[in-house]
Each structure stands twice: as structure tokens, then as C-alpha cells.
Amino acid sequence: MQTLYLALALFLLVNLGAGMWRIFRGPTAADRMLSAQLFGTTAVAVLLLLAQTKENTALLDVALVFALLAAVTAVAFVRRAWTDQEVDHDSE
């Protein structure tokens, strides 16, 4: 079982790395923010799995805090940092 938890956590991390492509690719600011949302959900899942491997309930609290606060960042983006016109300065 331990091996499975670790393997799944590793799988989710690799999956996360693939999702990072969106941060670089864009094209809109919202697309970049979506990656951050992906990070939030995946981090919760990885923490739950790690909590099971370490038998440490404190990690559930970390996951809980993540679950609560991931939304705050996204809302801050939508309400504050999202400019009216979609201009992207970088062309990578």
C-alpha cells in the first residue's frame, strides 16, 4: 500500500509538471491562472496521499488549509490583477 501511495503521489507530481506548460504557453492571463488552480487541487491530493504514508494527521490540516486558500488566490486574480484588455507582453 505504501508503495502505491508514493507512486500515485509521484504520478500526480509528474502530471503537475505537464500542466505547467500552460503557465508558459498562455495565451491569456486566465490560462496561466488555470495552472495555478491545477496546482491547488493536485497539491491537496498529494498531501492526502502523503498523510496516509506518514500516518500523520497534521498533513490533513495542511491539505485543509490549501483547500481553503487556493480559492483566495484565484479570486484575487479575477478581481484585481486581471486587466480589462487581454494584452500579452511576452511572446515566447
Residues 52-91 within binding reach of other proteins (CB under 8 A): 52, 54, 56-86, 88-90
Of residues 35 through 54, those in contact with other proteins by CB under 8 A are: 35-50, 52, 54
Least distance in Å: CB of 3 to other proteins? 6
Quick check: 89 and 28 in contact, CB under 8 A?
no
Least distance in Å: CB of 84 to other proteins? 6
CA-nearest of 53, 56, 51 to 4 is 53
Least distance in Å: CB of 41 to other proteins? 4
